[in-house]
Amino acid sequence: SPISRMEQKEDDTSGGGASNELVVGHGPGLVHRFVNFAFHTINADMNDFFQENCSKFEQDYDDYQKQGETLEQYAAYQEYRRRLEESLSTFVQKENFDDDEECMAEIQRLVKEDLERHKEQMQKMMEQLQKAQKRAMKAIRRAQRAENGGLEEFDGEDEDEDNEEGKDDDEAKEEAEPPPMMIFFSPTTLEQLVEMVMNLGEYQTFSMMMRMKVQQQRVLKLLMEARESGALGPPQAESKTDDEAKEQGNEVKVEDVKIEEDDDFMFTES
């Protein structure tokens, strides 16, 4: 299966036995299609399966702490994994691979290339960040000297950031202060995307999803009961179509409406 093949590929890569065979005609978009296909399978295609098996995970917290997972729950997980792997096998066919192993090998190759590019990008970003921090510190010192009337003296200093000569004690003390905090977000790697798909095949992930769906059903049930009892107020009127709203707007204009008698708020046309 695709998940099992990916797990095997990760073991081979960690052991230095990664395949050197390449699949021609697939770029980084293959990984994004793989991830989108997997999550569409979970969120749409397998929705009926989740609804049918939710009752098996209706377990009190205390009971769960004492007894743990049940055999029935694990059987549901096995069926879930079988369906997930079967669905991902159709992805392999749609992408014109000969088998699961070939597809997963290509995905693993793309992940490795992306990690190398990501490492280079992060190195460049860190260098730019360090330069930006130095510029920020220099701007802060300039503002401090301007407030103290020493701007002319600062303007005559050497602008080279790497020049460490000729610094007095005050300037050295200022530079010893921590630089201003600067935050940047690291781009998501293909490896992180693939790991999300791999986690879908884990029992812990499946169990968490099922228990969250149980909680959602409980909340929806309470809301429906509250609505039927009138605790949430009367149901809202059905929204009108654009044509109906436009037609009504032609009949009565806002400026033509006036309020009579504060007690019953009668609306009439002028």
84-128: per-residue pLDDT in tens?
A: 999 999 999 999 999 889 999 999 999 999 988 888 888 888 888
Q: 3-state SS of the chain: helix, strand, coil percent to 5?
A: 70, 5, 30
Tokens of 200: 């879908």
**Greatest mean pLDDT range, 13-22, 162-171, 189-198:** 189-198
Which DSSP symbol is given to 42? I
pLDDT over threshold 70, residue 35: yes
Q: At 259, give phi and psi (nearest 5°).
A: -100, 130
Exposed/middle/buried for residue 111 (C-beta within 10 Å: 0-12, 13-18, 19+): buried
For the entire predicted model, the pTM comes to 0.58
Please tell me whether residue 2 adopts helix, strand or coil conformation.
helix
* Mean pLDDT taken over the chain: 74
The mean pLDDT value for 241-264 works out to 50
Q: How far apart are the C-alpha atoms of 240 and 247, rounded to whole Å? A: 11
The mean pLDDT value for 26-39 works out to 88
pLDDT over threshold 70, residue 44: yes
Q: pLDDT tens, 54-92?
A: 999 988 878 888 888 899 999 999 999 999 999 999 999
pLDDT bracket for residue 4 (50, 70, 90): low
CA 123 → CA 114, 126, 185, distances in Å? 14, 5, 14
Residue 92 is predicted with a pLDDT of: 92
Between 55 and 163, name the one with better pLDDT.
55
pLDDT over threshold 50, residue 19: no
Q: How far apart are the C-alpha atoms of 257 and 266, rounded to whole Å? A: 10
Residue 75 is predicted with a pLDDT of: 95
Q: pLDDT tens, 180-209?
A: 666 667 778 889 999 999 999 999 999 999
pLDDT bracket for residue 162 (50, 70, 90): very low
Q: pLDDT tens, 141-153?
A: 888 788 776 544 4
The CA-to-CA distance between both ends of the chain, in Å, stands at 74
